[in-house]
Structure 1
């Protein structure tokens, strides 16, 4: 019996170690792993994953939309704040412009009245025989001339007519900015770049047309005449690569780009240079008048002090009356003719042409054509701002290109 058990055990162990059994065990293990893998990647699991995505996707979309709406709402609030500030600037510049225009009229009327009154008193003092009356007329005439001289020095320093023109320009430009912000809000499509750009425009206008007189007032007699600059300056690195346009894209073509470059050359060579030259002429005339006015009233103030002296005869009367009349004429030409306002008008006109040049250059330097303003719209806007229609603008560019640019005498603008 013991022998049979031992033989059975040995036969079982030898059969379990046979190759067939090993192959069977390995096949069973592979089948088990395959069943696990199939269960893992079954269509039911894919359905559950898709179902979870369907559940999560609307939530993520709502979250993103809420975030975008919050950001857009914040940007709109900022734009509304800027728009309110711009509207306030418009009223401030308008009111201060009217005030400074009144200064010009009141100061001119007062100075001319004082000058003519002083000249009349000097003439009466020459024919007066009474000592007390003669002294009173002499002192009054001298004081009036000195007072007129002091007022003229202040008046010529601040140039009220030029100040009024600055505020009128600022009010007009702030109104343009107000309408631009209004359009952005109406479209309900704004970005942080729009807010930053408009903020820079507001600060640039504040710098170009300051409200206070002391410390921030623009120099009324600059050493060098430069066009007015009221837009933020762009300091961007120039790109050496150029975009080659083979067809019309976003309204732009090679021909339109060449046309715009020709317009820039005309603006620089003719319009900009012409108004800078006119500004220099107006500045020289204003300087001469600003010096002569107080000088003549100062000379006239010397005359009454020596009226009645036997050593000078009629010389003091001549000084008092003639130089007083000359001062009245010069002051009327300077401030009545508003030479300071004319200078500012020329300077602002040159600035307008400089702004046109930089706007066109900025559009041409944008290599991504889709980011530019539509070419046809841009051409129409440039033409209207220069007082032309698009066909006239193209004719001007063609004439400039066909002839020597230096021999072309036509100006780009028909507006000024």
Structure 2
């Protein structure tokens, strides 16, 4: 019985192993697969949507079936090459401004140390000469007078060029060039640069060159102007504007309420922040003018006093003038150049320029009647808030408070400086 069951199992097993499935043969040439020749263009469009979707609606402007050669989002290699060339030039300017900043900062410290050393040495010699008789008197008088005259000439040159102010100009230029370098790099990374972007980048580079010149002779910024004006390091906006048309849509992140808030912020920056820095700049400029004139005047008087030390007809006033004027000159020089009053003037000017640039950017967007041609409203509001050191809610509260209080509103817009 067991043998019969075993043989039947083997037979059934053989039948199972011999079974087969017939699959119809497919003609691979007749199967139509989707063409993927535009995969790179589609991926590039998806990246643009992810990184810069607020500015460009690529799904509406380009068909996914268009070839990469005809897609408007394939960057022109010539434009990319030009932008990289501008980046190289900007990077070189960063190094130049940084090196010249270090050099002119050294000028300030070395010249101040040298002039104060010469002045105090001359004052000491004048005091010793007052107690000396005979031939050493003439030598001490001549040495003291010559040293005072040398200090006067060096001080006139130092007060004319204001090394601390020159160093601050180069620090600002370094920061702005680094900022421009990062902007161009970001434009290449997430945007679709055009020839217009190349022109704007060139204009920004040249505007920085005009605002912060490298050479001293012929192009140095006037250090003692009649009034303090904000520093301008950006080119003028040239985009055509359509005025007199009412905005019919609230697209691109803008709304009527946001426009009102931005107008209030412009008023706050103009009335409080920029005006305050210009006022402080005027005071610092007046102080710097007084010190720049007082230093050489005191060393000159000290030279005259030391020349008459020991003369019987002039008494003791020559000694007092030769010693006291020299000591006062050292104090004035230390306050002016050690305290870097010229740098403070430039700092106030650049801060006022920062707020002026913000005002122009806001007004430029508000004056553009075509909302789609503006910078995206949400992004622009975030930039304004970050530049002022505020959150979005604080920025909106600032605008609402300014509108509510009107002319009595005295809060400053910026919390950074």
1:182 aligns with 2:192: no
Residue 63 of structure 1 deviates from its aligned partner by 10
**Aligned counterpart in structure 2 of residue 128 of structure 1, from 126, 132, 154:** 132
Do the aligned residues in 1 keep the contact of 2:242 with 2:368 (CA within 8 Å)?
A: no
1:407 aligns with 2:412: no
**Which residue of 191, 195, 203 maps to 2:198?**
195
* CA–CA distance in structure 2, aligned partners of residues 358 and 298 of structure 1: 48
Q: What per-residue deviation string (whole Å, max 9, x for no partner) do you get for residues 278-319 of structure 1?
A: 111000000000000000000000012111111112111111
Determine which of 116, 121, 124 is the counterpart of 2:120.
Answer: 116
Counterpart of 2:318 in structure 1 is: 316
In the alignment, structure 1 residue 95 sits paired with structure 2 residue 96: no
Consecutive unaligned residues of structure 2, counting only runs of 5 or more, are: 1-64
Quick check: 1:157 aligned with 2:157?
Answer: no
Give the alignment's TM-score, normalised by structure 1.
Answer: 0.82
Once residues 194 and 289 of structure 2 are traced to their aligned partners in structure 1, the CA distance between those partners, rounded to angstroms, is 48
Aligned CA-pair RMSD: 1.9
1:402 is displaced (CA, Å) by: 1.4
Q: Look up the match of 1:225.
A: 228
Task: Provide the C-alpha distance between the structure 2 equivalents of 1:306 and 1:287, rounded to a whole number of angstroms.
Answer: 30
When Rg is computed on C-alpha atoms for both structures, the one with the higher figure is 1
How far apart are residue 91 of structure 1 and its match? 0.4
Check whether the contact 1:97–1:167 (CA below 8 A) recurs between aligned residues: yes
What's the offset of the Cα at 1:374? 2.2
- Count of residues paired in the alignment: 353
1:379-398 to structure 2, matched below 5 A, reads 379-398=381-400
Between the aligned partners of 2:245 and 2:405, the Cα distance in structure 1 is 26
For residue 69 of structure 2, give the secondary structure of its aligned residue in structure 1. helix
Measured in 2, the distance between the counterparts of 1:191 and 1:243 equals 30
Aligned partner of 1:19 in structure 2 is: none
- Distance in 1 of aligned mates of 2:269 and 2:97: 29
Q: Is the 8 A contact 2:247 2:371 kept in 1?
A: no
- Structure 1 gaps, min length 5: 1-60
Contact 1:245 1:254 in 2 (8 A): no
Where do residues 128-277 of structure 1 align in structure 2 (5 Å cutoff)? 128-129=132-133, 131-187=134-190, 189-234=192-237, 239-246=242-249, 248-277=250-279
The residue number in structure 2 matching 1:295 is 297
Q: TM-score, normalised by structure 2?
A: 0.81
Give the secondary-structure state (helix, strand or coil) at the position aligned to 2:175.
Answer: helix
1:188 is displaced (CA, Å) by 5.4
What pairs with 1:305-344 in structure 2 (closer than 5 Å)? 305-344=307-346
The answer to whether structure 1 residue 65 and structure 2 residue 69 are counterparts is: yes
